Copies of this chain bind each other. A is one copy, B any other.
Amino acid sequence: MKRTTLSLDEFLEGFKTKNRSVLARAITLVESENPEHQALAQELLQKILPATGKSKRIGISGTPGVGKSSFIETFGKFLTAEDLTVAVLAVDPTSKVTGGSILGDKTRMNELAIDPKAFIRPSPSGETLGGVSRRTREAMLLCEAFGFDIVLIETVGVGQSEVSVAEMTDFFMMLLQPGSGDDLQGIKRGILELVDMVVVTKDDGDNKLLIQKARHDYEQALHILRHEGWTPRVRTCSAIEKTGIDTIWSDINHFYDDQDNQIKNKRQSQLIQWMDQLVKDSLIQNFMSAVGIDQINKFREHVKSGKITPYQASQELLKLFTK
């Protein structure tokens, strides 16, 4: 049975009364590709915009197996125990294939999933990372307007998804597990430079020595690539022994206290970047659908084999577009 959507007023009323199911339906609305839903979604976003911006936006990246779910579960429970409300969202470019691999199975976070102070939402599916990112950004705004203190946005870090999460959050942390092929050499180019904190997971039992070494290596690397302003921290934690989370949280608070102005500026440039990116994406998308991938590939082949110069090919393609 197809559910009819709520009206704008019903959505706004639901937000006022903190009705979780209305939040869930609002997120479904922004995720919908139906043009009518999209129009309503944009109206809703416009209405709630003044109420956004009050949450701490924290990005969490980590490859599968690093212990990301356990970390988010432990961290999330820590936060709700501090009487904070937490929304967990995801940017997962693989979800179009698997039908939602991140957070798709809420049982990965047993306790957090049933915590009344927490709200977990699986990754939206979508054809492009751009589409997935946009929906997650919009879901973030909805969660903020709804009143969540913290929004955690997780990603598996496939392709550009880490960059994308770093570009929508204030604080970007990367989870790493040493000795699992997940050491520094395994980190994709450019990612370490986005990182505000590295968290070395599974700091328990026999791992302790290995982890000390890893921590030292990461600190060295982050020092080499050090950012202006905030010096990225390297912390360790154990979901089993429940250690390390308090330090991580106090670092994050320190970051927010210390970098107040920078965060404001960062958010403003993120907004402008986002607008610019959406314009570029649309221009390219319009070009692609007008010219067609077959034509483009044909010219790519000609260029690759040295038949024509890239400049000539680009001019030909643009002629096809403006025609």
Binding site for B on A (CB under 8 A): 42, 45-46, 49-50, 52-53, 134, 138, 141, 184-185, 189-190, 193, 217, 220-221, 224-226, 268, 271-272, 274-275, 278-280, 282-284, 287, 299-300, 303-304, 306-314, 317-318, 321
Contacts and interface: CB of A to CB of B under 8 A. Distances in A.
A45 B313 CA distance: 12
Contact of A308 (B49, B184, B272): B49
Given A272-B300, A280-B284, 11 more contacts: A184-B224, A190-B193, A224-B224, A271-B306, A272-B304, A275-B310, A275-B311, A278-B314, A282-B314, A283-B284, A283-B321
Nearest to A42: B312
B190 A303 contact: no
Nearest to A313: B275
A309 B279 contact: no
A271 B303 contact: yes
Count copies of this chain in the complex: 2
29 contacts: A42-B311, A45-B311, A49-B307, A50-B306, A52-B306, A53-B306, A138-B309, A189-B190, A189-B193, A189-B225, A190-B193, A220-B220, A221-B224, A224-B224, A268-B304, A271-B304, A272-B300, A272-B303, A274-B303, A274-B310, A275-B317, A278-B310, A278-B314, A279-B314, A280-B284, A282-B318, A283-B284, A283-B318, A283-B321
Contacts of A138: 309, 311
Contacts of A307: 49
Contacts of A318: 279, 282-283
Contacts of A313: 275, 278
Contact of A49 (B271, B272, B309): B309
